[in-house]
Amino acid sequence: MYKLPPRNLIYQDVLNQILTLIKNGEWIAGDRIPTETELSKIFQVSRNSIREALKILEHLKIISSKAGSGTHVLEESFQNIQMLELVDTLRQKSTYESLMDTRLIIEPELAYRAALKANEKDIKKLENIIIVSINQINDEEYFTPTVGFSFHMELAKIADNEIIWKFLESITLELLSLRKVIMNKHNKEDLLKELDEHKEIFGFIKSNNPEQAKIAMYNHLKKAQNHLTDYEN
Amino acid sequence: MYKLPPRNLIYQDVLNQILTLIKNGEWIAGDRIPTETELSKIFQVSRNSIREALKILEHLKIISSKAGSGTHVLEESFQNIQMLELVDTLRQKSTYESLMDTRLIIEPELAYRAALKANEKDIKKLENIIIVSINQINDEEYFTPTVGFSFHMELAKIADNEIIWKFLESITLELLSLRKVIMNKHNKEDLLKELDEHKEIFGFIKSNNPEQAKIAMYNHLKKAQNHLTDYEN
DNA sequence: AAGTATTTGTCCGTATGTATC
DNA sequence: GGATACATACGGACAAATACT
C-alpha cells in the first residue's frame, strides 16, 4: 500500500497564499491587507489559522499587525522575502562540496586582508589559538573535529567584516554538522598536518605577506577537499 | 507626557523564552517538549498564544509538532538557530559601507572564476547584457539605477556556486534599496563610465584572463566606493 | 489486534485594549 | 470625547492523528 501524502496544514496553506500575493505584487509595501475576520472569510478557515500564518509573516518582518490599525505590508517586505529565499537556498544546497567551494571563494581573501590588518593583539590571539590546538591534539582523551574552527573564525574577525564573518560561521558550522568533515580528521597525523598549514598561514600574516597568506589558505582548503576525495575512491 | 513602551506581545515573550531554553541546552535536539496545555500552564498564558509561538519555531525548523506524538526539538535546531542569527546580522549590519565591502571580498574572486569557466554561451549572454545596458542608458525615458545589476549577477552565475550566488543577490538587492546607490548613478555620464568598466571586465573574461578580470572587478567596485565618498565631501 | 488515552489541529465565542475619525 | 473597527488574548469544544496498553 502507498502512504497518502501528509495533508497540508491550514496555516501553512494560508501562509503560502499570502506570501504569493505579496510576491506577485497584488499586495504592495504600505498596503493595508484585509482584517483577520475578512481573511478568515476569504480563505474559509478559522481566525486562529489566519493568525498563526500572520504571526509567522510578522516574525519574518514581511507584515506588521497592530491592534486598532490593522495589518500592513512592510516597506522592507521585498528584502525580507529575499532573506527567506537565501535561507532556503542555504538549507537546500548545503553539501560538503558546495560549502567547501564557498569557503574557497571567501577565505583566501580574508587571509589576504588579515595579513594587511592584523595588529599585535590579533597576532597574539592567533598564536594562542594555535597553542591551544596543539594541546588539544596531543591530549588525546577526547576527539576534536572542531579543532581548527577557531583559527579560521579568528582570521575572519581580523578581516573586519561582520556580515562575512557571520556568513562564514554559518557555512562552517553547517559543514561541521556533516559527517564527512569528521572523516577528514580521524587520526592524529591528519590533525597535525592541518595544524602545520595553519602555522604556515599564520607566519605569512605575522610577517605581513598578504599574497602568500592568501595562496597558503587556498592550498590549505584545497588539500582538505582532495583528502576527502581520496577517502571516497 | 511620555509614551509607555509598547507592551510586549505574549507570543513573542513565549517565543524568546523557548528559544533561550533550546539555546542554553535545557531542551536538546530530539527531546520532546511539554504539551501545549502544559506550556500554557507553565507560562500562564492561553494555548493560542503558545501555539502562535510554536508555529513560528516550527517555520524556523527548530521544532516540529505532530498530532498525537507531540512537539520535538529537531536535530537541525542548532544550525537553524545559526541561520536566524545570520539573518539578524544581515539586517542589522547592512550599511552602504559594509555591503560594498562584502562585495569587494567576494566579487573579484567570482570574476576570476568566470574568466576560467565561461563557455561560448556564457560569453554571448554577458555580451547581450551589455548591449541591453547601452540601450537602457541611451533610452533616457526612464531612470535605471539597476542597470548594472544583471551583469554582476550573471557573472556570479558563471562562477557556478549557488550559495554565493544567492548570497550576493541578497547583498546587492539590499544595497539597491539604500538611497546612496542611486546617488552614485544620477547622470548619463556616470552610467556610461560604469558600463565601460563592465566592458573591460568582460574583455578579460572573454580572453580567459582571470588575474586581470579579478583586478578589474576590484577596481570597478573601489571606484563606486570612492565616487560616493566624493559626493559626501 | 482493538480500543482507549493523549496530543495537536481547527473551530467558535467573548472580553479587552488600542488606534482612528 | 464618543463611536467604531481592529488586533490581542482568553477559554471551551470537538476532530484527527498518534501512542499505549
Per-residue pLDDT tens digits for A15-60: 999 999 999 999 999 999 999 999 999 999 999 999 999 999 999 9
What is the nearest CA distance from A25 to chain B, expressed in angstroms?
17
A19 versus A136: which is more confidently predicted?
Answer: A19
Q: How far apart are the first and last CA of chain A?
A: 39
Distance CA B187, CA B179 (A): 15
Residues in contact with A125: Cβ distance below 8 Å, sequence separation at least 6, in sequence order? A154
pLDDT of residue B3: 43
Residue A142 has pLDDT above 90, yes or no: no
Residue B163 host element (H or E) = helix B162-177
Nucleotides of C under 7 A from a protein CB: 5-13, 17-20
Residue B99 has pLDDT above 50, yes or no: yes
Find the mean pLDDT for residues B150-161: 97
pLDDT of residue B141: 58
Under an 8 A CB cutoff, do A174 and B82 touch? yes
Which long-range contacts link B188-196 to residues 24+ away (Cβ below 8 Å)? B188/B137, B188/B140, B190/B227, B191/B137, B191/B144, B191/B147, B192/B137, B194/B147, B194/B148, B194/B220, B194/B224, B195/B130, B195/B133, B195/B134, B195/B137, B195/B147, B195/B148
Mean pLDDT for all residues in chain A: 91
Residues in contact with A164: Cβ distance below 8 Å, sequence separation at least 6, in sequence order? A106, A110, A156, B102, B105, B106
pLDDT of residue A57: 98
Residue in B with minimal Cα distance to A16 = B59
Nearest to A89 among B109, B163, B173 (CB): B163
Under an 8 A CB cutoff, do B177 and A101 touch? no
Q: pLDDT over 90 for what percent of chain B?
A: 77
pLDDT of residue A108: 98
Task: Give the side-chain half-sphere CA count within 13 A for B204.
Answer: 22
Residue A86 has pLDDT above 50, yes or no: yes
Find the mean pLDDT for residues A91-119: 97
* B94 alpha-carbon distance from chain centroid: 9
The x, y and z cell numbers of residue B212, run together, are: 586581470
Integer distance in angstroms from CA B10 to C1' C6?
26
Nucleotides of D under 7 A from a protein CB: 5-13, 15-19
Nearest to A56 among B55, B94, B102 (CB): B55
Find the mean pLDDT for residues B201-225: 96
- Enumerate the β-bridge partners of residue A32: A72
The x, y and z cell numbers of residue A27, run together, are: 499586495
Using a 10 angstrom Cβ sphere, with 0-12 exposed, 13-18 middle and 19 or more buried, the burial of residue B90 is buried
Q: What CATH number matches the domain at A7-80, 1.10.10.10, 3.40.50.720, 3.40.50.1980, 1.10.630.10?
A: 1.10.10.10
Residue B94 has pLDDT above 80, yes or no: yes
Residue B43's identity, in one-letter code, is F
Residues 2-41 of A with CB under 7 A from strand D: 6-7, 35-37
Find the mean pLDDT for residues A95-105: 97
Domain range summary for chain B, segments of one domain joined by +: 7-80, 94-232
Fold (topology level) of B94-232: Four Helix Bundle (Hemerythrin (Met), subunit A) (1.20.120)
Q: Give me the residue label for grid cell 512592510.
A: A74
pLDDT of residue B7: 58
Under an 8 A CB cutoff, do B79 and A106 touch? no
Q: pLDDT over 70 for what percent of chain B?
A: 91
Distance CA B216, CA B111 (A): 9
> Which residues in chain B belong to E strands, given as ranges?
32-33, 63-66, 70-73
A185 versus A109: which is more confidently predicted?
Answer: A109
Q: Give me the residue label for grid cell 592568501.
A: A214
Q: Do B123 and B205 touch, CB atoms closer than 8 A?
A: yes
Residue A183 CB: number of other CB atoms within 10 A?
Answer: 15
Q: Do A90 and A166 touch, CB atoms closer than 8 A?
A: no
pLDDT of residue A231: 65
Under an 8 A CB cutoff, do A174 and B87 touch? no
Residue B6 has pLDDT above 80, yes or no: no
A228 CB less than 7 Å from any atom of strand C: no
Under an 8 A CB cutoff, do A163 and B94 touch? yes
pLDDT of residue A1: 37
The x, y and z cell numbers of residue B224, run together, are: 563606486
Asked if the domains B7-80 and B94-232 are classified in one and the same CATH topology, the answer is no
- Enumerate chain B positions whose Cβ falls within 8 A of a Cβ in A: 11, 15, 48, 51-52, 55-56, 59, 61, 76, 78-79, 82-83, 85-87, 89-91, 93-94, 98-99, 101-102, 105-106, 108-110, 113, 159, 161-164, 166-167, 169-171, 173-174, 177
